[in-house]
Structure 1
Amino acid sequence: MSWLRQRYERRDALALLDPETDFHEIYRQLSLYEFPWDVNQALNFALFRTYAVPSIGKLLHTTGEFTRRVQKRYDDTGLLLEAVLEHGFHGEGRAAVRRINRMHRSYDISDDDMRYVLSTFVVTPIRWLDSYGWRRLTEAERAASANYYRELGRHMGIPDIPATWRDFETLLDEYEAAHFAYDPGSRSVADATLALLATFPPNHLAPRPAVDAFARSLMDAPLRRALAYPSPPKVVEALSRTALRLRGRFVRFMPARTEPSMFRDLPGVRSYPAGFTVEGLGTFPMGCPVTQGGDRSGTRPQHALRSDQLGDGTTTRQ
């Protein structure tokens, strides 16, 4: 069937690229053309997982940004990451990395937590596509995804970044086993995020309990336990996951996308109807780094940039 072979032409074209040097182009095409809906959903769940680590969830709750302004924080996160994806690590992409770094420098975030968050960006989309994608990623595409986030992590000044996607997977699993735990602040952030999810089209047409049950159906048991969410009925979980698998099979027979699907064009992105600039996205906290508890106002965040580093995390020394 020639029309079905055409569906796989992008996969075959990407196979001709080198994941060690062409990782940005490979990941860009995967995210904007090959699996845009899946990657967006997976990255949403990647960020959601991080709430179950109390050192992360408590900090997000303390800032109030993910409870009082959850729509703006959702939009800002996606738009900043999209700027890097679209433009790479120069121009507007470099400006986005600078914005991300300047926000992070205002908070007391450990290198361990930063590496863990980076690992969720690598591993969660791979696992999502294994379960629900219209096809699985090739080994080269997995390697390119890891290399893309390794480069992002380097520009963010994160040390000791895992070398391969398998290493990222090991880090994620071990970190979650050691650190997942309940915290009321983390739960508040998770609740606010699920409430926002219920407002996105077409979710807004469904009853809120149904949207919550669907979301909980896609969470694994350790994540639900850490956030103290009840497990949905087995039949609801089975139906939810089956629906996503069926969607993947349907997408397999759709024509390949020829125009990019941009996060900024999604109906759920609503904070900037008149447009935005990358430099204006995110938070602008003042004063000393915000800590996660206790009197640590004189401490320096472990991942803070040295005086010989640029705002994008790269050093001025070669």
Structure 2
Amino acid sequence: MSEPFRKRWGLFPDPEVARTIAALDARADCQRIVRLMGQYDMAWDMQRALELALFYTYGSDSVSTLLNRTGEFREHGQKRYDDTRLLIGHFLEAGWDSEVGAQALDRINRTHAHYRIPNDDYLFVLWTFIEFPLRWSKVYARRPMTAHEREAGFLFWTEIGRRMGLRDIPPTRAAFDAFIEGYKQRHFKPCAASAQVAQDTLRVGQAWLPAPLRGLVPWVVYSLFDDDELFLNAVGARRPPRWFAALVRGSLRTYGWLRRGTRLGAYPLRLADTPNRTYPGNRYRIEQLQPVHLQRAEGAVVPPSDEGAAPAGAPAGRCPHAWR
């Protein structure tokens, strides 16, 4: 769905975005509220928050054991990062009722069906998608999320959970938080699989940078978790030096402050406009967004040296976006 919002003089956000969000119904319009936040009002912040949410799932010994057993983050880390970003991005951007959003959810569900995943693990991962945008917005974003936006985000993600077949989703944030405290006590424990998957994911980020800067990536990431000793112990991470953690957090707060009244980059920020290392030019099909070992098991063509190339028979052009 096209929106009428445009930056003012190419630099300043359209104030009508915030007014529109405030006027929408948190329950009936939660899909549009999440889209407006993710594309216009808090685009950069939502991306970073969801990246941290996914990283936090490695604190669970149960989640990490499965991820490590597949070897996907170790052998195809960039593809797993991009596939996850694209699948989530499609239903955030287009909504769960759109053609592409429904296809993305179906692809996720069919991939998960290959594994025996406990319902509690599903609930934990779902909780991170609710929780981390709130945490990020309180500290690092250009502004905190309003109570109206927090409610819409909770309703959006719990509906996604229902469409993924999750059982016993807690009905309120307080109930969900209480469930997660018990889950963490059971599953956040030092685990070789958690440490391995975290290291494999950090290597993905390190590959984006010049060699002299790569050693800083673990310090930067763990600076954002340095108050969560349970998580750091679970993934076998050392707390970064206090001065470095303070520098990272202070820099992010400053960046958030600088963005309060300005918008740089695309407006709206769409999946089709973002760089894609695995699928150059965003040339992919949603069916490709699955683990390589499952593609091979299903007989799909997986290029050995260029995972971004379209497989035989793939149509040219970008993946369609149904919000247009």
Equivalents in 2 of 1:258, 1:188: separation in Å? 35
Which of 102, 107, 115 lines up with 2:110 in the alignment?
102
Question: Alpha carbons of 1:152 and 1:249: their partners in 2 closer, same or farther (altered >3 Å)?
Answer: same
Q: 2:63 aligned with 1:56, yes or no? A: yes
Would the aligned equivalents of 1:7 and 1:255 in 2 still touch at CA under 8 Å? no
Which of 155, 167, 174 lines up with 2:175 in the alignment?
167
Q: 2:222 aligned with 1:216, yes or no? A: yes
Match of 1:294 in 2: none
Match of 2:248 in 1: 240
| 1:107-131 Cα distance to aligned partner (Å, 9 max, x none) | 0100010011000000011111111
Match of 1:25 in 2: 32
Match of 2:314 in 1: none
Would the aligned equivalents of 1:7 and 1:252 in 2 still touch at CA under 8 Å? no
What are the within-5 Å matches in structure 2 for residues 27-176 of structure 1? Answer: 27-90=34-97, 91-176=99-184
Would the aligned equivalents of 1:147 and 1:164 in 2 still touch at CA under 8 Å? no
Equivalents in 2 of 1:8, 1:110: separation in Å? 44
Equivalents in 2 of 1:243, 1:215: separation in Å? 13
Would the aligned equivalents of 1:79 and 1:264 in 2 still touch at CA under 8 Å? no
| 1:171-202 Cα distance to aligned partner (Å, 9 max, x none) | 333322332012112211100111111233xx
Match of 2:4 in 1: none
Which of 195, 202, 205 lines up with 1:194 in the alignment?
202
Equivalents in 2 of 1:255, 1:75: separation in Å? 25
Shift of 1:38: 1.2
Q: Which one scores higher on RCO, CA 8 angstroms, separation ≥ 6?
A: 1
Would the aligned equivalents of 1:182 and 1:227 in 2 still touch at CA under 8 Å? yes
Which of 255, 261, 266 lines up with 2:269 in the alignment?
261
% identical aligned pairs: 36
Equivalents in 2 of 1:30, 1:252: separation in Å? 14
Match of 2:191 in 1: 183
- TM-score for both structures, normalised by structure 1: 0.83
Shift of 1:166: 3.5
Would the aligned equivalents of 2:59 and 2:189 in 1 still touch at CA under 8 Å? yes
Question: Alpha carbons of 1:8 and 1:234: their partners in 2 closer, same or farther (altered >3 Å)?
Answer: farther
Match of 1:228 in 2: 236
Match of 2:257 in 1: 249
Would the aligned equivalents of 2:38 and 2:93 in 1 still touch at CA under 8 Å? no
Shift of 1:5: 10
Equivalents in 2 of 1:177, 1:165: separation in Å? 18
Equivalents in 2 of 1:41, 1:97: separation in Å? 21
Amino acid in structure 1 at the alignment position of 2:167 = P
| 1:144-186 Cα distance to aligned partner (Å, 9 max, x none) | 0011111111110001112233333333333223320121122
Structure 1 spans left out of the alignment, 5+ residues: 288-318
In structure 1, the residue corresponding to 2:280 is in which secondary structure? coil
In structure 1, the residue corresponding to 2:79 is in which secondary structure? helix
Aligned length: 283
Question: Alpha carbons of 1:261 and 1:167: their partners in 2 closer, same or farther (altered >3 Å)?
Answer: farther
Shift of 1:24: 0.3
Greater shift, 157-166 or 23-32, is seen at: 157-166
- TM-score for both structures, normalised by structure 2: 0.81
| 1:252-301 Cα distance to aligned partner (Å, 9 max, x none) | 0214887221345433x3111250111221132659xxxxxxxxxxxxxx
Would the aligned equivalents of 1:34 and 1:257 in 2 still touch at CA under 8 Å? no
Equivalents in 1 of 2:163, 2:192: separation in Å? 33
Equivalents in 2 of 1:110, 1:6: separation in Å? 43
Shift of 1:205: 7.0
Greater shift, 73-82 or 258-267, is seen at: 258-267
Would the aligned equivalents of 1:218 and 1:241 in 2 still touch at CA under 8 Å? yes
Structure 2 spans left out of the alignment, 5+ residues: 1-7, 299-324
Would the aligned equivalents of 2:12 and 2:263 in 1 still touch at CA under 8 Å? no
Match of 1:306 in 2: none
Question: Alpha carbons of 1:172 and 1:128: their partners in 2 closer, same or farther (altered >3 Å)?
Answer: farther
